[in-house]
Amino acid sequence: MKSEYGKYVRGGAPETKKFDINKPFVKTRAYLLPAVWAYCNIRRFHHLEKIEKIRMEGIKPPYILLCNHNSFYDFYVMMCAIAPYRAIHPAAVDDYIGREHLLRIAGTVPKRKYTADISLLRVARQALKENQIFGIYAEARYSLCGVTEVIPDAVGQLIKHQKVPVVVLNCKGHHIYDPFWGDHKKRFVTGLEATMTQVLTPDEIKSLSADEISKKVKDAMYNDDFRWQSENRVKMSYRKRAEGLHKVLYQCPHCMTEYKMNSKGTKIFCEHCGKSWTLNEYGELVADKGETEFKFASDWYKWEREQVKKEVLAGTYYFESDCHVNDLPNSKGYVRLGNGKIIHDMNGFRVTGIKDYDGKPFEMNIDAAGQYAVHVEYNYRFGQYKDCIDLNTLDDTWYVYPHASEFSVTKISLATEEIYNEIWRKRNEERIAAAK
Amino acid sequence: MDIRNDMLEMLRDYTDGRITEVNPDDVLTSDLGLNSFELFDMICLIEEKYEITIPDRVLPTLVTVKDVVEYLEANV
């Protein structure tokens, strides 16, 4: 379905029927498995990707499977890794567009990102009770830059509560093959790696606190694909390999200007000061002239986080823009809500506007203290290839497309995390001070 | 049966004293700082304590302390 608003987006009356988040999960249909395994293995062998298994002897479901997340290709490797078993795992509601039935019979359950969705935890409990694997892409989104994104503490608490083995599937090179910021064209690269490790046995879980479990899991899930590519001399010679990287690396470390970065072919460059860097075949950035501030995109990304953190600590972070909003009520697709305004500041997100359909106002407020991260998209395919911010409540999913000429959804994502951290750091300080 | 006080006591015990004061309009996540798992665990404790089962479709409506208290007062 395509309209003036883009693929899978329509105007007109709002949908009354919403995603059924509470529909019971379905185990991957047995008759699907041979075809699924065959296809997934073909995709895996295309990259000569080995799956190393550590401490996995005799491991059978039920267990919790945690995977790092760089691209849709992760799913193929996960299916190969857990064979001959199947998994129940959450998938973002927008993954269901146009293929809800297929994803449901593939063992997925829909999730609205970054919402305190208790029913999903009930699904986890039920799946494990039915001796299934419960798989979690704990970052809840694709990594923006090939380095592991924030993992909530709730994962450690869930593990402590369920007392089943915990397995981490850490995949290397998936970001190099299909980066979130890229053109999603086939980047031929071989030598990708996947390591499947039982990081915690039930006995070990009993002896550790939820925080200790959380740390152990986060350490096991850590990944930095550009560094891995360089250290292992994995060659990827796609001639447009840097195109899109400016979506992540939006601030120039040379002249400090924001939103003037761009990219072409193998180069990323600043349109304000003219400095440029080449992304070589081993994932390393090299300044074409002068000092190379960051050899790896992941270090540049960390530096950008520090700049955003300074703004948050100084209380000067603020983003406001006109925008339009597409609502995602169910898997049939988006409904154009209308034009409006988005504000993102120390309080959180505030989106207001007027509905195209009936001229009535619409509004969504997301409290910063309740949202530890946010999902953003670059050149979103169902949004006429524009950048957007995906805001969710337990009932609604809104894709918000800022109209400002200069902004970065990467900066908005980093600010969301740093504002959340700062709010809870202050509250904990106040609570401790009050307790004295 | 004073459900309101029960709730405060459960919150205080569950969070090891992290939560000492509770207002009816406090949002469980952004004001009291409960994450999704802690909410899930609290709901399990409430179900055990009052011997009820809270349906999945009700869960999204339990946003504030008042929502939980009112639901319990109507269903316990």
In DSSP notation, A31-98 reads: GGHHHHHHHHHHHHHTTT-EEEEES-TT--SSEEEEE--SSTHHHHHHHHHHTTS-EEEEEEGGGGTT
Whether residue A18 lies within 8 A of chain B, CB to CB, comes out as no
Please judge whether B60 and A395 are an interchain contact, meaning their C-beta atoms are less than 8 angstroms apart: yes
Task: Give the Cβ contact number of residue A267 at 10 Å.
Answer: 18
pLDDT exceeds 90 at position A231:
yes
Residues of B at the A interface (Cβ-Cβ below 8 Å)?
A: 17-18, 27-31, 33-41, 43, 56-57, 59-60
The arithmetic mean of pLDDT across residues B9-33, rounded, is 86
The arithmetic mean of pLDDT across residues A222-240, rounded, is 96
Question: A109-139: per-residue pLDDT in tens?
Answer: 998 888 877 888 899 999 999 999 999 999 9
Question: A302-361: per-residue pLDDT in tens?
Answer: 999 999 999 999 999 999 999 999 999 999 999 999 999 999 999 999 999 999 999 999
Do A175 and A71 touch, CB atoms closer than 8 A? yes
Query: What is the rounded CA–CA span in Å between residue A37 and residue A44?
Result: 10
Q: Which of A22, A152, A158 sits opposite B57 (nearest CB)?
A: A22
**Which tokens is A352 given?**
């207001």
Beta strands in A303-403 (DSSP E): 319-330, 333-345, 348-355, 361-367, 375-380, 386-392, 397-402
**Which tokens is A222 given?**
């850590």
Burial of A50 (0-12, 13-18, 19+ CB in 10 A): exposed
Give residue A15's pLDDT. Answer: 84
Give residue A1's pLDDT. Answer: 67
**Most B CBs within 10 Å: which of A109, A118, A436, as the mutation test of the B interface?**
A118
Please judge whether B35 and A154 are an interchain contact, meaning their C-beta atoms are less than 8 angstroms apart: yes
Phi and psi at B4, nearest 5°, equal -60, -50
Query: What is the rounded CA–CA span in Å between residue A272 and residue A260?
Result: 6
The band of A23, judged by pLDDT with boundaries at 50, 70 and 90, is: confident
Give residue B57's pLDDT. Answer: 83
pLDDT exceeds 70 at position B1:
no
Q: Within 13 Å and on the Cβ side, how many CA atoms surround B16?
A: 2
Please list every residue in chain B whose beta carbon sits closer than 8 Å to the beta carbon of residue A368: 30
pLDDT exceeds 70 at position A78:
yes
Please list every residue in chain A whose beta carbon sits closer than 8 Å to the beta carbon of residue B26: none
Which of A221, A90, A228, A224 shows the shortest CA–CA distance to A168? Answer: A221
ipTM of the complex: 0.81
Lowest mean pLDDT of A104-113, A166-175, A293-302, A305-314, name the range.
Answer: A104-113
Shortest CA gap B2–chain A (Å): 25
> Please, what is the Cα angle at A33 between A142 and A191, to 5 degrees?
50
pLDDT exceeds 80 at position A436:
no
pTM for the whole thing?
0.93
Shortest CA gap A370–chain B (Å): 4
Percent over 90 (pLDDT), chain A = 80
Phi and psi at A135, nearest 5°, equal -95, 140
Please list every residue in chain B whose beta carbon sits closer than 8 Å to the beta carbon of residue A424: 33
Q: Which of B17, B35, B39 sits opposite A152 (nearest CB)?
A: B35
At which residue do the structure tokens 């955003």 appear? A308
Q: Which residue did the predictor score with more confidence, B17 or A353?
A: A353
The band of A17, judged by pLDDT with boundaries at 50, 70 and 90, is: confident
Q: How far apart are the first and last CA of chain B?
A: 10
The arithmetic mean of pLDDT across residues A376-389, rounded, is 92
Whether residue A158 lies within 8 A of chain B, CB to CB, comes out as yes
Task: Give the Cβ contact number of residue A365 at 10 Å.
Answer: 13
Q: In Å, how far are A31, A206, B57 from A27, measured between CA atoms? A: 11, 29, 22
Number of A–B residue contacts, CB under 8 Å: 61
Query: What is the rounded CA–CA span in Å between residue B64 and residue B56?
Result: 17
